[in-house]
Amino acid sequence: MKRIGLVIILVMLMIVPAGAQITWGVRGGLAYSSLVQKIDNNYQSGARFGFSVAGLAQIPLYKKLSLQPEVAFVNQGGNYLSKISDGESPELAYPKTKCNYYSILVPVNLVYTFQFTDVYFSVIAGPAVDFSLFGKMKTKENLNTDIVFGQSGEADLKTFDLGVNLGLQVEYSNFFFSVSALCGTLDRRTSKHDGESSLYQNNVTFSLGYYFRK
């Protein structure tokens, strides 16, 4: 954990332009997360509600453009199906696994902001790195087990994910509301049966936050 924190701090320092007037902020909110897969040419997603809390920095770049890196603690997960055998009913051939886990999420967003009277509207987009820490899963036998991230188990998940983050933000008097959608691009499965599809983590987050502007 100390190494992860050091890497995050170094990355933040490297992307800050010299002499930039940095605005710090915090946010927290509700996350609607889902694990998405493709089964029999149909996309399936199993969702759950979690939370996201973050500290962030807004760094001016040029006119209406700014850079906004964040460090967030996220509760996410969802449900997914694993193919066990052919020739059985869907309930038996595709048992459901429920995941509930916690991650450190580091988005680095490019923000375009325009003003209308006293209200600031922003469009946000950028990559995000997801490092999963710990969590639980419930299998078809209704047993709660720890997720062992990074190990090639039947239902365990990979540790890292790289996502694409898109969002909108409205700010008034230092307070802001934002909604963002994060789409994972890396397969989270550590192992697959024949015929199983890739598994991706997606999140939609609704947040309230505050900028510490002078």
Distances (CA, A) of 19 to 24, 60, 167: 15, 10, 27
CA proximity to 202, closest of 53, 39, 43, 12: 43
Q: Spell out the domains of the chain, with CATH numbers in brackets.
A: 27-211 (2.40.160)
What pLDDT is recorded for position 29?
96
Which pTM does this prediction carry? Answer: 0.83
* Residue 191 reports pLDDT greater than 90: no
What pLDDT is recorded for position 23?
92
Query: pLDDT (tens digit, 9 = 90+) per residue, 66-112?
Result: 999 999 999 999 988 776 555 555 455 566 788 999 999 999 999 99
The residues with which 101 forms a beta bridge, in sequence order, are 76, 135
Query: pLDDT (tens digit, 9 = 90+) per residue, 109-131?
Result: 999 999 999 999 999 999 999 99
The pair of three-digit structure tokens given for residue 101, joined into one six-digit string: 């886990």
* Residue 148 reports pLDDT greater than 80: yes
Query: pLDDT (tens digit, 9 = 90+) per residue, 167-179?
Result: 999 999 999 999 9
What pLDDT is recorded for position 2?
45
Residue bearing the bigger pLDDT, 23 or 41: 23
Mean pLDDT confidence for 50-71: 94
* Residue 162 reports pLDDT greater than 90: yes
Q: Are 201 and 33 in contact (CB under 8 A)?
A: yes
What are the start-end ranges of the H helices in 39-110?
Answer: 90-93
* Residue 213 reports pLDDT greater than 70: yes
